[in-house]
Amino acid sequence: MLRTHTCGQLRVENVGQEVTLCGWVDTTRDHGGAVFLDLRDRYGKTQVVVAPQSGPEVLELAKSLRGEDVVLVRGTVSHRLEGKINAKIATGEIEIRGTYVEVLNRSVTPPFFPGQEELPGEDLRLKYRYLDLRREQMQKTLILRSRIEKTMRDYFEENDFIDVETPILGRSTPEGARDYLVPSRVHWGHFYALPQSPQLYKQIMMIAGYDRYVQIARCFRDEDLRADRQPEFTQLDLEMSFVNAEDIIGMIDGLMVRLAKEHLGIELKTPLPRMTYDEAMRRFGSDCPDLRYGLEIVDISAQAKKTEFRVFRETVDAGGYVRGFNVNGRAEEFSRKRIDELTEIIKKDFGAKGLAWFRVEPDGTLWSPISKNLAPELLVEIGQAFSAKPSDIIFLVADSWDVTCKALNGLRRRLAAELKLYDPKTMNFSWVVEFPMFDHDPEENRWVAMHHPFTAPRVQDFEMLNTDPGRCRAQAYDLVINGYEAGGGTIRIHNSDIQSQVFGLLGITPEIARDRFGFLLDALRFGAPPHGGIALGIDRIVMLFGGMDNIRDCIAFPKTQKATDMMTEAPGTVEKKQLKELHIQIETPPASA
């Protein structure tokens, strides 16, 4: 090894030792003849002093050093002078009196320095990701990620799980987002697909008798992106045999207890709280509600039906809803201008027709521009429904169920952040259970799977597969942390006939089912045990445990929201020879491409 110690290792007990450090020059300071260097690696920083006593050649070399040069320094560990101790760093009580300096590699002037206080734009950071990864915060995040993954592996090994790798090159199956396709050179016109998840393989593992499977798996989905999604991502994937939903939830409860204790220093009580999908949508307008604050949604459709106020009455008569929430004691913070801005936001972002509101006056009455259209006794009923008190402000949306959910959930999250209704360091863990088995696609007039096509219905809802699929509930469960879906799982269908029936409801014909899923349907006939599992988003969990709000900040080499790698400039073009080998011809792109 070139070095005897790292830049974060030395302490006062090392004083007097001859040491060799290697690292990057973080800062340099010329103090009237002596040069002070802060030498940095991923373990920390150490101050190096090169004085005239080190010799003119060493001193001149030290003076020539610039930020991000890579150097080797040899010297003696010494106490820092009185009054010069730096309590902000672990090595702040000592310094190295340098006797030898060697430049291992010079650096050109970088577009930004890892130690600078103000971060550059994200595009620049992603283009020069190797510089960005030198930042202390990025290093801490990747170390946290590594430790979280180790905790996960240790926990599941203790619980008798077997870590099994599944294929990256598989078969394209119609089960969710778009696949990333990989053309086969030796099989003309045929394609592999990168896995959206190891779903089918882990079910096969259960049929094969490996009753506890786990894997930290790479997954790929060609879908529209946002801040908390990536085209390639990592998930903790597990499957268990001879279990029900409670067993899976209990296993993950135990994992969350371990992770929270080891990496957040908090004690979680189990079982973690849970609510049904219907309750979550009714109270919070979201199937992944943030429970760190109130702002619970109240339905006043019954009261709205009594009024002659046209917007409310016509909405309810048409089968819609009037729903809203109360912001306690903050009415004075909402000017008409701000309310107008919020109205435009929910119109633009969520398709709502508008935003109604009531301010609660000192005498407890409700006032707004629409108050004159509602009878006094009805205003009292509305105030009681929201437990209204002076200085409260109530926001209402009159629209379809879906629009009221989306608009109020979006408004709820926005106001909670703006009004600082919660401590960002607070962590809230909960479960949402009993999801609908199917969702209806009005454009194609067909059922689609709420989770995936292999999800089992609740035992008591089996008959609804034949009579009323829209009312059928699934054995499905999502882990929610701070309003983010941190993981989702289901109990699987382990009967071939039921699986074929569900395929039929989803519009997957017997011919397509046989072509795409024939191996699964066959395997289910060879003694498939009851089984189920879950996948946890590791990127998202690291983001939440690290107190971040952008998933790209916890991935070493992420893609942008347009699925491009700014550093390597992927995706890129390839040579015609490669395309010819794969029997691929590129069409002229449309003008908008």
Grade residue 589 by pLDDT with cuts at 50, 70 and 90.
confident
High-pLDDT (> 90) share of the chain, %: 85
High-pLDDT (> 70) share of the chain, %: 98
95: β partners: 78
Grade residue 38 by pLDDT with cuts at 50, 70 and 90.
very high
Q: What is the pLDDT of residues 488-501, one digit of tens each?
A: 999 999 999 999 99
- Residue 4's pLDDT is 97
Q: Which two tokens stand for residue 276?
A: 């049904």
Grade residue 112 by pLDDT with cuts at 50, 70 and 90.
very high
Tokens 């509305």 — which residue?
382
Say if residue 591's pLDDT is above 80.
no
Q: Are strands 18-31 and 70-79 parallel, antiparallel or unpaired?
A: antiparallel
**How far apart are alpha carbons 476 and 478 in whole angstroms?**
7
- Residue 588's pLDDT is 78
Average pLDDT, integer, range 255-269: 97
Average pLDDT, integer, range 394-402: 97
Does CATH place domain 139-212+430-576 in 3.30.930.10? Answer: yes
Cα 126 versus chain centre, distance: 19
Grade residue 57 by pLDDT with cuts at 50, 70 and 90.
very high
- Residue 227's pLDDT is 61
**How far apart are alpha carbons 343 and 518 in whole angstroms?**
51
Grade residue 593 by pLDDT with cuts at 50, 70 and 90.
low
Domain residue ranges of the chain, discontinuous segments joined by +: 12-105, 139-212+430-576, 293-421
Name every residue whose Cβ is closer than 8 Å to that of residue 340 and which is 6 or more positions away in sequence.
none
Say if residue 353's pLDDT is above 60.
yes
Grade residue 442 by pLDDT with cuts at 50, 70 and 90.
confident
3-state secondary structure at position 232: strand
- Residue 1's pLDDT is 82
Inter-residue contact 243 to 206 (CB < 8 Å): no
Does CATH place domain 12-105 in 2.40.50.140? Answer: yes
413 vs 227: which has the higher pLDDT = 413
- Residue 440's pLDDT is 85
Grade residue 441 by pLDDT with cuts at 50, 70 and 90.
confident
Grade residue 175 by pLDDT with cuts at 50, 70 and 90.
low
Q: What is the pLDDT of residues 277-322, one digit of tens each?
A: 999 999 999 999 999 999 999 999 999 998 888 999 999 999 999 9
Average pLDDT, integer, range 333-350: 96
Average pLDDT, integer, range 340-363: 96
Average pLDDT over the chain, rounded to an integer: 94
Say if residue 176's pLDDT is above 80.
no
- Residue 225's pLDDT is 67
Does CATH place domain 293-421 in 3.30.1360.30? Answer: yes
Say if residue 174's pLDDT is above 70.
no
Q: What is the pLDDT of residues 498-542, one digit of tens each?
A: 999 999 999 889 998 898 889 999 999 999 999 999 999 999 999
Is the whole model's pTM more than 0.85, yes or no?
yes
- Residue 32's pLDDT is 79
Domains 12-105 and 139-212+430-576 alike in fold: no
**How far apart are alpha carbons 248 and 253 in whole angstroms?**
9
Say if residue 592's pLDDT is above 90.
no
Average pLDDT, integer, range 373-396: 95
Average pLDDT, integer, range 437-445: 85
Q: Per residue in 369-392, is it b (16+ CB within 10 Å) or e — as a string?
A: ebeeebeeebbbebbebbebeebb
